[in-house]
Amino acid sequence: MKAVVIRTFGDPDGLEVTDVPVPVPAPGQVRIATEAIGVGGVDAVIRRGALAAYGFREGHLLGSEVAGSVTAVGEGVDASWMGRRVWAFTGLSGGYAEQAVAAVEDVLALPDGLAGTDAVTLGGSGVVAHFALDRARFAPGETVLVRGAAGSIGITAVQLAAAGGAGAVAVTTSSAARGARLRDLGATHVLGRSGEGGPDAPGGFDLVIDVVGGPQLPLFLDRLNSNGRYVVVGVVGGQPPADFGMRLMDAFRRSLSFATLSTDTVPGPDRRAVRSSQFADAALGDLRTVVHEVLPLEQAALAHHAMDAGEVFGRIVLTP
Ligand SMILES: NC(=O)c1ccc[n+]([C@@H]2O[C@H](COP(=O)([O-])OP(=O)(O)OC[C@H]3O[C@@H](n4cnc5c(N)ncnc54)[C@H](OP(=O)(O)O)[C@@H]3O)[C@@H](O)[C@H]2O)c1
C-alpha cells in the first residue's frame, strides 16, 4: 500500500511516497482503510528530527490521526467493528497511509453526517481545548485569551469559551484577515502575536489558554487578572525562558496559577465521552471545524511546506 515516510530528516522534501506492507492488526487493534488523515504540528516536529532522542528515526511513517472504515480486527476485538466508519488515534506513527492500525480504545465510531475530514480536524484537538478550559476552571462571565488561536486547538477553544458565556474571548493571531475569521468563530477581540492592538480589549484576563509558549510567554503571564489561571497546551513557538516562573513569584500577591495540560493525563473514558459529544455537535453544525485544504496523500510534502510557511488556518487533511 501507499504510505509517506521520512526519508531524510529536515525540510519537507525529505518526505517520500513509498510502498509498504499492509499492517496486520495486533491483539486489541483494528485496521482502518483511511479516508482522511490529519496533518498535525507534531508531524513537522518529528520530520525535522527534533524528536530523534525519543526514538523517531529516518524511515518513520508519519501520522497520528485518521478517519475511515474498519477492514480487519485483531485478536480480542469485537467483530462488530468490521466495516464501521471510525476516527482513530494511531499513536505518533502510521497515519500517512492507505491503511493504518490503532488500539481499539483509541477508536471511536463516527456519527452519521460527520465527514472524515472534519473528524480528523477536531478529534485530537477538540479534547485539548475542552480539558484546557476545564483545567482552568472556566466559568461564565470570565474573560479568556486564546494565544495561537488559528490552529485546530485554538479554533475549538474560542468556540467553547464563547458558547460557555465568556465575558470576552480575545485571540492572538498574525494578520487582520485571520483575526476576522476568528471573530466569525466567536472571538470578541483580536490582538497581534505579541498581544499588541485590540484597543478595546480587556486590560487583563481571567484565563489564558496558550498554544504557543516560546520567548514571549512571560508577556502574557503579566496579562492575567488577580486569581487568573494560565494553561499551556502547546509550544508551537518553542520553550519559554528558563526563568519565566519568576514572573509568577514577582506577582505573588495576585494569586496567579500556571499549569500545563496534556490530554495524555486525562482518563481515556473522559476523553472518549468529550470527543463523542464534540463529534455529535460537529455533525449537527453546532461546533465548527476548519479544514484549510484537502490534499492527496502523495502531496504530504506540500502540506508540510504550507505548515512551515505559517499559511495554515485550521488543519490540512490528506486523502489516500
Ligand atoms: N496538550 C495536548 O494534549 C496536546 C495534544 C496535541 C497537540 N498538542 C500541541 O498543540 C500544538 C499544536 O496545536 P495547533 O494544531 O492548534 O497549533 P498550530 O496550528 O500548529 O498553531 C497555532 C497557531 O499559532 C500561531 N503561531 C505559530 N507559530 C507561532 C509563533 N512562533 N509565535 C506566535 N504564534 C505562533 C499561528 O497562528 P498565527 O499565524 O495566526 O499567529 C498558528 O496558526 C503543538 O505544540 C502540539 O504539540 C498538545
Mean pLDDT calculated for residue range 231-240: 94
Q: Over the stretch 120-129, which tens digit does the pLDDT of each residue have? A: 999 999 999 9
Q: Is the CB of 290 under 6 A from ligand 1?
A: no
Does any domain span residue 284?
A: no
Q: Is residue 24 one of the residues assigned to a domain?
A: yes
- The amino acid that residue 141 corresponds to is G
In a domain, 231, yes or no: yes
In a domain, 98, yes or no: yes
Q: What pLDDT is recorded for position 170?
A: 98
Cα–ligand 1 centroid distance for 41 (angstroms)? 7
Structure confidence at residue 199 (pLDDT): 87
Does residue 133 sit in the same domain as residue 210?
A: yes
How far is the centre of ligand 1, averaged over its atoms, from the C-alpha of 182 (Å)?
Answer: 15
Query: What's the 226 CA to ligand 1 centre distance in angstroms?
Result: 26
Contact 130, 274 (CB under 8 A): yes
The phi-psi region of residue 266 (left if phi > 0; otherwise alpha if psi is between -120 and 50; otherwise beta) is beta
Note whether 302 and 203 are same-domain residues.
no
Q: Which pLDDT value is given to residue 188?
A: 98
Counting Cβ atoms within 10 Å, is residue 286 exposed (0-12), middle (13-18) or buried (19+)?
A: exposed
Model confidence at 250: pLDDT above 90: yes
Instruction: Name the closest-CA residue to atom 24, ligand 1.
Output: 148
> From CA 176, how far away is CA 30, in angstroms rounded?
44
| Claim to verify: residue 138 and residue 247 sit in the same structural domain | yes
Q: Is 192 in the pocket of ligand 1 (CB under 6 A)?
A: no
Q: Is residue 278 a part of any domain in this protein?
A: no
CATH number at residue 224: 3.40.50.720
pLDDT in tens, 177-228: 999 999 999 999 999 999 999 889 999 999 999 999 999 999 999 999 999 9
CA of 178 to the centre of ligand 1 (A): 14
Residue 54's domain comprises 2-109+290-319
Q: Give the gyration radius of the chain's Cα atoms.
A: 20
Q: Nearest-CA neighbor of 118 among 269, 294, 262, 263?
A: 294
Instruction: Point out the domain boundary residue: 244, 263, 282.
Output: 263
CA distance 205 to 291: 29
Q: Are the C-beta atoms of residues 149 and 158 closer than 8 Å to each other?
A: yes
Residues 257 and 302 reside in one and the same domain: no
Cα-to-centroid distance, 293 and ligand 1 (Å): 17
Question: Are 140 and 82 within one domain?
Answer: no
- Specify whether 71 is located in the same domain as 162: no
Q: What digits encode the pLDDT tens for the residues 261-275?
A: 999 999 999 999 999
Which pTM does this prediction carry?
0.97
Q: Is 121 in the pocket of ligand 1 (CB under 6 A)?
A: no
Same domain, 103 and 133: no
Instruction: Evaluate: CB of 174 within 6 angstroms of ligand 1.
Output: yes
Q: Would residue 81 count as lying in a domain? A: yes
> In this structure, is residue 115 part of a structural domain?
no
Is position 247 within any domain?
A: yes
Tell the residue number behind the cell numbers 488515534, with chain if given. 89
Query: Of the residues 263, 279, 306, which one is the last residue of a structural domain?
Result: 263
How many angstroms separate the alpha carbon of residue 209 from the centre of ligand 1? 11
Our mutation pick for probing the ligand 1 site, out of 134, 174, 211, counting the most ligand atoms within 8 A of Cβ, is 211
Q: Is 155 in the pocket of ligand 1 (CB under 6 A)?
A: no
Q: Are residues 157 and 259 in the same domain?
A: yes
For ligand 1, atom 26, the nearest C-alpha belongs to: 148
Any idea of the CA torsion for 76, 79, 80, 82, to the nearest 10 degrees?
A: 120
> Is ligand 1 within 6 A of the CB of residue 73?
no
CATH number assigned to the domain comprising residue 315: 3.90.180.10
Residues 144, 193 within the same domain: yes
Say whether both 43 and 146 belong to one domain: no
Using the predicted structure, report yes or no on whether residue 297 has a pLDDT greater than 90: yes
Grid coordinates standing for 127?
479534547
Number of domains in the chain: 2
Among 145, 135, 4, which Cα is nearest to 61's? Answer: 4
- Confidence check: pLDDT of 78 > 90: yes
- Residues 15-58: tens digit of each pLDDT: 999 999 999 999 999 999 999 999 999 999 999 998 889 899 99
Q: Is there a single domain that holds both residue 140 and residue 208?
A: yes
If asked whether residues 150 and 196 sit together in one domain, one would say yes
Average per-residue pLDDT for the chain: 97
Ligand 1 neighbourhood includes 239 CB (under 6 angstroms): no
